[in-house]
Amino acid sequence: MTLPTVASEAPRLAVPPKPRRPRAALLGWVAAGLVVGAHLMAWSATEISLGNLVAGWQGMARFLAEAIPPDLSPQVLADSVAGALVTLWIGLLGTTLSIPASLALALLAARATTPAPGIYQAARGLLSFLRAVPDVVFALIFVTAVGLGPFPGVLALVCHNVGVMGKLWAETLEDADPAPAQALRSAGAGRLQVASHALLPSVTPQLIGLLLYRFDVNVRSSLVLGLVGAGGIGFLINQSIQLFQFDQMLTHILVVLVLIVVVDRVSAIVRRRLGSSA
């Protein structure tokens, strides 16, 4: 027995041709041409050479051969774990100590909460500056001021993180539902009262989610800061490379891998829980 098909009986209507938009098509081609051109320039400027990569494979092989197996002796492992913990603490403090300045600048740099257009522009400018200066450059500056060690790493992360987190928070505040703020404004609430009683509580999960994301990024950044003398396991990796102890370097990298995975998982779990409670 064959089942009756309804498809053949369903009414149909011819699809009209799409309207031609020659201007949009031209813009599309121009944009594609610019993207391709930018990639060609980047390829040339970064001196990419697959030939050099193939020719140098023996160097990489030798490097890997000396690194494997990793040195898992108790002393190296203990140093590695201690270094990883310092890296974690640098990332933690670099994130939490930047909260007050990030929040203050975010409030000044969000249209809904800024007291004046001039202050808005100044706050946005300061955030752009802090974001534009890489944390490694901040670290080098602070190393010259306070010497080698984790402290300049924390200071560098705080400075750079204020720029990034302040901007992310400001944009979250600008995207917040304006309705509760309007209600409080009409009840006579001032700008700070509106921010603290309507805007901030409306976007708290997003703000904490961004904070955790930045913590995740900062732990990874603090590794790189270690390479320029700002302490932590990055410092140990740099030391191992300079002393040609590549097996110890691999041990440190494996410990870093564990650290990054743990931070990433914990941060993801907390973000998910915040999302479900929003």
Partner 1 sequence: MLALTDIAVRYGDRDVLHGIDVTVAAGELLAVLGANGSGKSTLLRAAAGLAPTTAGTVTVDGRTRRNLDIALIFQQIHLVRRRSVLDNVCAGALGRLPLRRSLVPALFPRAVREEAMACLDRVGLAHRAHDRAGTLSGGQQQRVAIARALHQRAPVILADEPVSALDPAAAEQVLALLAELAHAENLAVLAVLHQPDLARRYANRLVGLRDGRIVLDGDPGQPVDSLYPSRALQEVP
Alpha helices in 176-278 (DSSP H): 178-186, 191-194, 200-227, 233-242, 246-277
Among residues 144 and 193, whose Cβ is nearest to partner 1? 193
Among residues 155 and 199, whose Cβ is nearest to partner 1? 199
Among residues 46 and 277, whose Cβ is nearest to partner 1? 277
Name the minimum Å distance from CB 174 to partner 1.
17
Name the minimum Å distance from CB 103 to partner 1.
13
Name the minimum Å distance from CB 245 to partner 1.
52
Angle subtended at Cα 239 by Cα 248 and Cα 92, rounded to the nearest 5 degrees: 90
Name the minimum Å distance from CB 178 to partner 1.
9
Among residues 52 and 277, whose Cβ is nearest to partner 1? 277
Element (H, E) at 20: none
Cβ(225)–Cβ(155) under 8 Å?
A: no
Name the minimum Å distance from CB 173 to partner 1.
14
Cβ(93)–Cβ(159) under 8 Å?
A: no
Q: Which residues bind to partner 1, rule: CB under 8 A?
A: 179-180, 182-184, 186-190, 192-193, 196-198, 201-202, 204-205, 278
Q: CB 269: neighbour CB atoms within 10 A?
A: 11
Distance between CA atoms of residues 157 and 163, nearest Å: 10
Name the minimum Å distance from CB 191 to partner 1.
10
Among residues 184 and 224, whose Cβ is nearest to partner 1? 184
* 184 burial level (CB within 10 Å; 0-12, 13-18, 19+): middle
Distance between CA atoms of residues 83 and 89, nearest Å: 10
| 89, two tokens | 């603490």
The DSSP 8-state label assigned to residue 196 in this structure reads: I
Among residues 206 and 218, whose Cβ is nearest to partner 1? 206
Cβ(153)–Cβ(94) under 8 Å?
A: yes
